[in-house]
Amino acid sequence: MPQNITRGIKALVDEANAEIETLTAEQAIKAAQSADVVIVDIRDPREIEREGRIPGAFSCTRGMLEFWIDPQSPYAKPIFQEDKKFVFHCAGGLRSALAAKTAQDMGLKPVAHIGGGFAAWRDAGGPVEKWEPKKK
């Protein structure tokens, strides 16, 4: 018997967007210039390698987000304990809406996400740098 999904991705993203701050790419480009803002790239490393990255962005895959935010987690990252504004982005703005909502629900604040994601940032003329994975 097929699964009966009662709340699909559109509903989840719409609910998230109703509760979080969404920055335009232009607003995010300006915000990224502040020392009080951390741009958090939640894309997979393969996406970052293929498309490039926002200079200075902190990379945290979506799958590790909750573990890296929670200071009680053995995987906690100190950056998430800083008194900064966290602006999440993914490729197109869907995953980052969910990530920002999750982070906000966990108590991280202030948070926002970039509407349209990395694509909107790049299309608005935001700086992009090439990224290559560490050699083993």
Which tens digit of pLDDT belongs to each residue from 51-105?
Answer: 999 999 999 999 999 999 999 999 999 999 999 999 999 999 999 999 999 999 9
Average pLDDT (28-54) is: 97
pLDDT band with cut points at 50, 70 and 90 for residue 132: confident
Distance, in Å, from the CA atom of 87 to the CA atom of 48, rounded to the nearest integer, reads 17
Question: And the tokens for 86?
Answer: 């966290």
Q: In what order do the strands lie in the sheet with 37-41?
A: 21-23, 111-114, 85-89, 37-41, 58-59
Q: What is the pLDDT of residue 1?
A: 81
Q: Sketch the domain layout of the chain as residue ranges.
A: 37-123
Q: Which two tokens stand for residue 57?
A: 């962005």
Say if residues 53 and 76 touch (Cβ distance below 8 Å).
no
pLDDT of 134 above 90: no
78 contacts: CB under 8 Å, gap ≥ 6: none
Q: What is the mean pLDDT of the chain?
A: 96
**Is the pTM value of this prediction over 0.75?**
yes
Distance separating alpha carbons of residues 27 and 98, to the nearest angstrom = 20
What confidence score (pLDDT) does residue 69 get?
98
Percent of the chain with pLDDT over 90: 94
Contact 125, 119 (CB under 8 A): no
Which pLDDT value is given to residue 136? 67
Q: What's residue 133's pLDDT?
A: 72
Cα–Cα distance measured from residue 100 to residue 41, given in angstroms and rounded to the nearest whole number? 11
CATH of region 37-123, choose from 3.40.190.80, 3.40.250.10, 3.40.50.720, 3.40.720.10: 3.40.250.10
**Percent of all residues in the chain with a pLDDT value above 70, rounded to a whole number:** 99
- CB-CB contact of 41 with 114 (8 Å): no
22 within 8 A of 70, measured Cβ to Cβ? no
